Structure 1
Amino acid sequence: MIQCYAKRDFVPTFSYGCMPKLRYVSKVSAAYKYPRLMHGHDDVLEILFVHSGTGTYVVNSAKYPIQQGDAVICNSNVLHDEIPECNNGLSTYCCGISNLQLDGLKKNCLIPDNVRPVVSCHSQQQNISCLMDMLHCKLSSDQKDEEECCHFLMLSLLTILLKLIKANPIYIDKTKKDDNILRGEMIKAYIDAHYDEELSLSYISRAFNLNPYYLIRIFKKVVGYSPMQYITRRRIGEAQKLLVSTDYPVVEIAPMVGYNSISHFNMMFFKYIGISPRKYRNTYTIMKKKSNDCRTKK
């Protein structure tokens, strides 16, 4: 027998007066074929963990290569996106957490704005993978009184990630940007605030007093997409979020994300996701039910 002892007292990372709350956990296998486009969360921190495979993830318009054992930290109000054509056998877990308040950081933020959002967790890969799997299994089982256990699993996950981040933070280069980069960022901020309104290239060009072709060039340099492609990805990504997290009918979601024509909305959603909005919602519901049924049988 080998017996180990807890040797030291510790100062709790999280106080009972302001305890983080687990909102959801999802698991996406490499076989899942519907991409999750650009979106953010007003009151939720998301942690994406790469269980297997490789790919490319976009956080705040910056592209990052990701591989097995990496965690991607998406602070609240930070836009993130995936590039499905870059994925190779990519399987991930995603954990949503709210009510997180760490010293020196904004609410629901795990890292400062100047720290790289991709964290190499290879030294803790097995532990994090086990925690994510247990969280997903327990939540999908829908059995009574699993929430307390999941709460402490979530705290363990956060504690491990915080230690990894503090041990080796990689800082983003914040050197002075040229005028074109600053203009591109201003245009992006404008679109982010108005993507659900009627926007056209000519309208945006007039708003910034720029030639449309010049605007496209500087915007694409910053974001990687043309302005109209970016608007579409913002709209479809937000629609996906509403389809899986609310009960709003599809006919109401379309104008909420900037489409006055339901047929145009359906067409653009199918073009980018490969399935209609209604089927996307139904597929999500069916997958959730199958997961619950599978765990219950076990």
Structure 2
Amino acid sequence: MRQLVYEAGVDGLILDRCVRDYEFNMHTRHFHRHYEIYYLSEGERFYFIDKQTYLVKKGSLVFIDRNQIHRTGAVAGGQSYHDRILVSLDGDKFTPYLTLSGFQLERFFSRNYGVLELSPEDSAYVEQLLDSIADEILQEASGYEFLARSRMLELLIFASRRMSCQPAAAKREAVQTARHRKVDEVAGYIAAHYNSQESLDALARRFFVSKCYLSRIFKEVTGFTVNEYISIHRIKQAQVLLASTDYNITEIAEMLGYESITYFEKVFKRYTETSPLKYRKRQQALAQTPSGQV
């Protein structure tokens, strides 16, 4: 059974709390333009982020950067019951509220994505803070939008301080099952060689597994097929090249391993819902927009 405890939002900030008592794996094709914070109040979950799988324990926070591939999944042999709070932050809309604080949202998430394990005392503080944000939004008392955003900033500053004190190995300890290690190895290789023309057969041979086995475990862990995962990394790099270089669309397609510009444009639109040219124009317009006026 799925129980939605609450769902609340103001401009740039949305959060919901959900309890599930059945085996649940996040749907596929999950990456997006907003930042995400995941707090696990009860249970245990596997969390695949970018190219590595983590075990998320009760009382932990997870931070997901924009356009970062991620997927939660049930822990094999573990309890299916879990209670989580999910926060979505729209960087374009939320960043202007951080101007006076000096807190840099983009910098925080690019440096601190992954899992942050908390002490019982810190977990209680984080859970109370998140619930209080939802209460403010749902009750709509005077000044609720300001208070909700201020408390979210409080959470971000708290997490930033804890991250700076906690060793990287403690924040980002990967799952060590054989299946997850293999997928992490393949995902890491793809992330570094996304522009190669290596086939699924060749990848399977490189990592000493059968094609069928690799296809199955990769989809189970990441939520993506191997080819989808390759496409996503290519499109993410295409976004960087479109926004920061003068290469034309044909040159970018060739650099990323696409033999057909038509196919490149089709894949780009599938994952971004816009064309490469429109994406470049949008990024150029944003670069010329004064901060806080997006």
Offset of residue 107 of structure 1:
2.1
- Root mean square deviation of aligned Cα: 4.6
Provide the C-alpha distance between the structure 1 equivalents of 2:108 and 2:210, rounded to a whole number of angstroms.
30
Number of the residue aligned with 2:32: 41
Pairwise CA distance, 1:135: 1.8
Long gaps (5+) in structure 2: 1-10, 174-182, 233-268, 273-294
User: Aligned equivalents of 1:59 and 1:48: distance in 2?
Assistant: 12
3-state SS in 2 of match to 1:127? helix
Aligned-residue offset at 1:110: 2.7
Q: Who is 1:214 aligned against?
A: 205
The answer on whether the counterparts of 2:35 and 2:90 sit within 8 Å (CA) in structure 1 is yes
Match of 1:119 in 2: 116
2:87 is the alignment partner of 1:95: yes
Aligned amino acid, residue 230 of structure 1: F
State the alpha-carbon separation in 1 of the partners of residues 104 and 153 from structure 2. Answer: 17
Q: 1:103 to 1:209 in 2, by over 3 A?
A: farther
120, 134, 137: which one aligns with 2:132: 134
Counting only pairs closer than 5 Å after superposition, residues 250-261 of structure 1 correspond to structure 2 as 256=270
Task: Name the aligned partner's letter for residue 166 of structure 2.
Answer: N
**Distance in 1 of aligned mates of 2:122 and 2:50:** 26
- Cα distance change on mapping 1:144 and 1:31 into 2, 3 Å: farther
Letter in 2 for 1:92: R
Match of 1:9 in 2: none
User: TM-score when scaled to structure 2?
Assistant: 0.52
Q: How does 1:5-154 map to 2 (within 5 A)?
A: 22-31=12-21, 35-38=25-28, 39-42=30-33, 44-84=34-74, 86=76, 88=79, 89-99=81-91, 100=95, 107=106, 109-110=108-109, 112=111, 117-122=114-119, 123-141=121-139, 145-154=143-152
Q: How far apart are 1:146 and its partner, in Å?
A: 2.4
> Which secondary structure state, in structure 2, belongs to the residue aligned with residue 29 of structure 1?
strand
Write the letter of the residue equivalent to 1:110: F
Measure how far apart 1:140 and its partner are: 4.1
Give the TM-score, by structure 1 length. Answer: 0.51
Aligned residues: 198
State the one-letter code of the partner of 2:89: I
Q: Distance in 1 between matches of 2:58 and 2:18?
A: 14
Structure 1 gap segments, 5+ residues each:
1-20, 174-179, 194-203, 239-254, 259-298
| SS at 1:56 equivalent | strand
Shift of 1:106: 8.0
